[in-house]
Structures are given as structure tokens and as C-alpha cells.
Structure 1
Amino acid sequence: MTRFRIGSDDLVAVVEADGARISSLRHLPTERELLASTPWADDPVDAFVMADSSAQWHRAYRGGWHLLLPRAGDSPATASPPQPFHGEAAWRTWRLTGSRNACRASVVLRTVPLAIDRWMSVRANMLVIETAVRNVGSEPVSYGWAEHPAFAGELFGPASTVRTGDRVVPLDPAPAASFTDLAAPAGDVTITAPEAGVEVALTWDAGLMPRLYVWQEQRGSTGFPWWGAMDAVGLEPAADPYGTPLDALGSLELEPGESRESVVSLRVDRSGDVAPGAT
């Protein structure tokens, strides 16, 4: 299968074999699409490939939610074999199996001996992503890990707020283009979007991913690759500060045969329906 549609009466997600990408997450009570997509997201795949992997990633980027592993961003020059921009996992075609409300995606990377299994399930108004990474090689492996959900720009209107823990995440008024890397020890981020009619709460294991990358691309870049047409805000849990370490793929390590697991959840409520203290 090249894609699975999973869902409930509240949420419907579409999972693609290409990068195990969640290409759509729709909140049915408000008919709101929560994930961003590029204007060219439905274009057919073409044979032309730019020589630089960062340029090719951005030229071909379709939006949605990717897993970035074993590296977010550019690979260190010393990495051997070299990694593509944002890591091999996001470029690979994964094996998909699934049911009405759950999908399993699996892949074994070739640049590093890591096997990844990713279970995505929809439970009422919640998307749950459970990921296991296992070292199938004979030597220790160091790697990085980041989740890359790009949220639809229309969630971030003038009345919207974004918080991690008890702190407001600063966003520039659209049109805007920026990137920041924040400490996120609470392991959560909440988008309160009254104009869109929803509140979106993302939670994760801050012990594994203590950083939050904030990528704002709301029609603020007029040149390649966005041409002023991309409207998205990425709120991305990550294991390492962006761009570091400079001499390795990341600070995480697995011994031969060892596994590490992660659970990320995203809950969607109508604005005003969130109980006090809910996370």
C-alpha cells in the first residue's frame, strides 16, 4: 500500500509510504485541516533531482508530518556515508500495513543500521504515534531524532497563542519567515486557535527530546523554494539543538540489539471545550 487512511468520528489521518509522512490530519467536527501542504503537494513525482539534498528537499517538500532520523538539518561533512538533508528516514519508502484506525510503518535504514517501526493510531480526538528504533548492527550507533509536524498557517491568526509549559512561544505576525530553537523541558506545546475553532495539544517525552524547533514560514519568503506561497508553522520536538553536534549525527546512542521507544500524542478539541488543567 502507498497510503492508509485511518480515523475516528473526530479525526482522520492519511499516512503515506513516502517517508511515512502524515500528509493530512483533519478535525471532522470543525472540518479543519490541521497540517500544512504546499501548493504543489499533489504534483506527480518527476525525474529531475537537484544535486544538493537540502535544495532537493525544499523543492520537493509537500508538507505534513515527517520523522527526521538519524539527523535533522544538514549532515556533518564528516558523516560517512553522507546523510541527506533531514535524514534518510524522511526520504525512504516505508512498508505500510493498517486497519480502520491504525497504521504501522516500518523501514530499515541503509546509511546506519537502524530499524524503525512507527505505529500511528487515532483514538477519538487523539492521534498517537509510537516509534521504536533498534540497532540491528554490530557496533554502537549515535544518531539524532526530531519530529517534524508542519501545522496549517490558518491556525495562527491574530487571536491565536502558542505555549510550551508556562511560556508563550513568540511568533511574528504574518507574513513572516523565521526559525528558532527553544528548550522545552515540559514536553508539550499547545496551539489555542479561537478563529479556527480548535485547540491542539502536542505532548512528547522531554527526556528524549528536550528541544522545540519553531519554523515559521507564513508567506514570508519570496524566493526559492516557497515563492511567497507556503503558509505553515512547524512545532518540532527534537533531541538536540539544531545544527549540533557538528561532528556526529546526534547525541543519542544505541548499543547493538538495543532499542529506544517514543510516544508522541496530539489531541484536538473545539475551542472552549478544554477542561481546566487538561494536557
Structure 2
Amino acid sequence: MQGWTLTWDRGRAVVTPAGAMLHHLTFDLGNGRSVAPFAEAAWHDEPEIQGDETLAQHLRLLGGEWACVPFGTTQIDPGHHGYGSNAEWELVEDGEGTIHLACAFPAGHPVERLERRIRGVPGKAAVEFSLRVVTRIDCALPIGLHPIFKLPETTGTLHLEPAPFERGQVFPEPFQPGVSRLATGSLFSRLDAVDTLDGEPVSLAALPAPGLFEELVQLWKLEGSIALRDETAGTRVRFEWDKGAFPHCLLWISQAGRTAKPWNGRFRGLGIEPVASAFDRTDLLDGSFSREGVSQPFRAGEPWDTRYRISAEALASA
């Protein structure tokens, strides 16, 4: 994979010009142990996929982590997850353990520029991110972050440990018709009891979940963190962000449920996507949704900044 290599004493990764995506992150946990938390698509090295410009660039390079401004499908930007998810970013600085990139948006777009800094934390199995948004006009945009974590092979061995949230909700339309099993639009208060179309509740608190292949749920008013405890690997990966910037969080569960090109039934991953958005579709904002926290306000020419962090540790019992 072409890009810049990020290295520090407790980890390494690759950052691609396309989308400023962080790929192949590996943390050194000490005592000869390591963990690579991100899912990576199998088609990164397939010429027939990489050369197919009908596929969005972020889809051709699916996996890892990147930022989406605007997030999802909007009338503002024809590219799903925004222009910056598919554009080539410029390198501003490649320093010791730090990479700084920027993306200029086309004339006429509400966004003028995005900047992204990625820094390995010295002495820590942790990476810190900053995102800066500069807009041309006063506006409110849906925004989000988009890391995709690995799903283990063994059922129920990856335990989700979210901070408190107000409520959960299943995508309000059939997410993948004929494939998705969660009850459309249903509400829940606990990850371990989510309604399905056949009336039997299922747990999303321990993944992979049997019989779930392609699902999307939103955790409304989540308090800014989720940890992933992997029993088999003996690790905990923690993702933390500013809940003021991203008050909600999507969970995208993909267990080989997509069969179209380039998926072909072979992608497995868990998207944990902090958002100021209602799911990933602005057209879903009807009277059934609160508009609180479904976009982020920006002032013309005034930089807006946020920070977030991904870290890992070995479990004490491992």
C-alpha cells in the first residue's frame, strides 16, 4: 500500500494520500506482544478493483480509519462520506512519529479545507488524531469518524464496552434488504437485547453474533468512548473522542453480508463511527428524529478543531 510510514517506539502504521486514511496500525504491547486492531479489505492488491474508477476511492481502500466531512450521503456533496474521503491529500509535515496532511476542497463547496494530524504517543501503545475543518460559509454539516475494527472468527469473543448512552436505534429502513435481521427502526436501551425481525432479541454486546451479516445501529448521546475487549487475543482496544464534537455513534456490523463488487461476501469488520449525524443519511431527518446533535455548526473562515485517540493494552489476565 502506497503512503507514508508512521513509526514510534510503540507502534507503526501507513497513511495513504487517498483520504488521509490510516491503515495497518500495529501496537507494541510489550513482552513481545502486539495487536493490529483494524480490519483491512482483501482487495487492496487486486488490479481489477483498484483500477475501477466507478468505485469510490475509500471503498477501494476500505479498512483502517479516516474522517468524513460531510458524513454519509448528503445533498451537499455527491461523494458518500464527503470529498475528502476520496480525494488525494497533500503532505504538510512528515516528522518524527507525526504525519500532518491537508485537503483543499473544490470551489463552491461549503468546506474550504481539512487538516489532519496523526501522532504516535511516545512510550504508549496509542495514537492521537486531530482534525481541523475550515469552511467558506457559515453552515451546519453532518460529520463523522470512520475506524473499522477487526472481527474475530470465534463467535462472541469481542466484547463491546461502550460509555453510557441514552438510547440505541436500528437503521429506520431495511439496511440490506433480505440480509439484515434487526427490527427496522427499533429502539433499545442495552446492547445485549436488540429486537430482530423474527421477534427474538439478539446481543450486540459480544461479536461476532450468529446470524447477523449486515447491520447498522446508532447509539444516541454516547459519552465519548467505546472499548473492545478481545478474550481470545487478551487485549483491550479503546477509542475515545470529544462527545461535544460527535455526540452519537454508529455501529456498523459487516460479517460477509455484502455480495456486490468489490465485497463479494468477503469483508468482515466493525465500524465504530462517532457522528454528529442521524445515521448516514440526511434524508432520514423527519419528524421521528430529534435534530439535536445531527450536524456540527461552523463559522466561515474560523478553524474548528477536535481531537481523538485510539489505544491498546494487554489484559491483566492474559
TM-score by length of 1: 0.83
Query: Closer, same or farther in 2 for the Cα pair 1:155/1:25, shift >3 Å?
Result: farther
Match of 2:140 in 1: 142
C-alpha separation in 2, matches of 1:102 and 1:41: 24
Query: Closer, same or farther in 2 for the Cα pair 1:273/1:21, shift >3 Å?
Result: farther
Which of residues 38, 43, 46 in structure 1 aligns to 2:41? 38
Match of 2:299 in 1: 255
Is 1:87 equivalent to 2:82 in the alignment?
Answer: yes
CA contact (8 A) 1:146 1:239 kept: yes
Which of residues 235, 247, 272 in structure 2 aligns to 1:210? 247
Compute the displacement of 1:85 (Å).
1.0
Q: Displaced runs of 4+ in structure 1, greater than 6 A?
A: none
**Structure 1 segments unaligned to the other structure (5+ residues):** 275-279
Pairs within 5 Å for 1:1-279: 3-29=3-29, 30-44=33-47, 46-50=50-54, 56=56, 60-70=60-70, 72-76=71-75, 79=76, 82-96=77-91, 97-110=93-106, 111-123=109-121, 124-135=124-135, 137=136, 139-154=137-152, 158-166=156-164, 169=191, 170=204, 171=207, 173-174=209-210, 176-246=213-283, 251-272=295-316
Compute the displacement of 1:223 (Å).
4.2
Compute the displacement of 1:235 (Å).
0.5
C-alpha separation in 2, matches of 1:262 and 1:112: 19
One-letter code of the match for 1:43? E
Deviation string 1:239-269 (CA, Å, 9 cap, x unpaired) is 1111454399x62222222121111101110
Deviates more, 1:28-37 or 1:88-97: 28-37
CA contact (8 A) 2:28 2:125 kept: no
C-alpha separation in 1, matches of 2:15 and 2:25: 9
- RMSD, matched Cα: 2.6
CA contact (8 A) 1:5 1:100 kept: no
C-alpha separation in 1, matches of 2:139 and 2:95: 33
CA contact (8 A) 1:106 1:116 kept: yes
Deviates more, 1:201-210 or 1:93-102: 93-102
Deviates more, 1:29-38 or 1:239-248: 239-248
Match of 2:171 in 1: none
Compute the displacement of 1:10 (Å).
2.3
Match of 2:175 in 1: none
Give the secondary-structure state (helix, strand or coil) at the position aligned to 1:153: coil
C-alpha separation in 2, matches of 1:156 and 1:259: 44
One-letter code of the match for 2:38? L
Compute the displacement of 1:225 (Å).
3.9
Query: Closer, same or farther in 2 for the Cα pair 1:185/1:247, shift >3 Å?
Result: closer
Identity of aligned residues (%): 19
CA contact (8 A) 2:58 2:86 kept: no
Rg larger in 1 or in 2? Answer: 2
Give the secondary-structure state (helix, strand or coil) at the position aligned to 2:73: coil
C-alpha separation in 2, matches of 1:23 and 1:116: 19
C-alpha separation in 2, matches of 1:92 and 1:58: 9
TM-score by length of 2: 0.74
**Structure 2 segments unaligned to the other structure (5+ residues):** 166-189, 192-203, 286-293
One-letter code of the match for 2:43? W
Deviation string 1:94-126 (CA, Å, 9 cap, x unpaired) is 112212311001112113332111110011211
One-letter code of the match for 2:133? V
CA contact (8 A) 2:44 2:50 kept: no
CA contact (8 A) 2:214 2:254 kept: yes
Query: What is the aligned residue count?
Result: 261
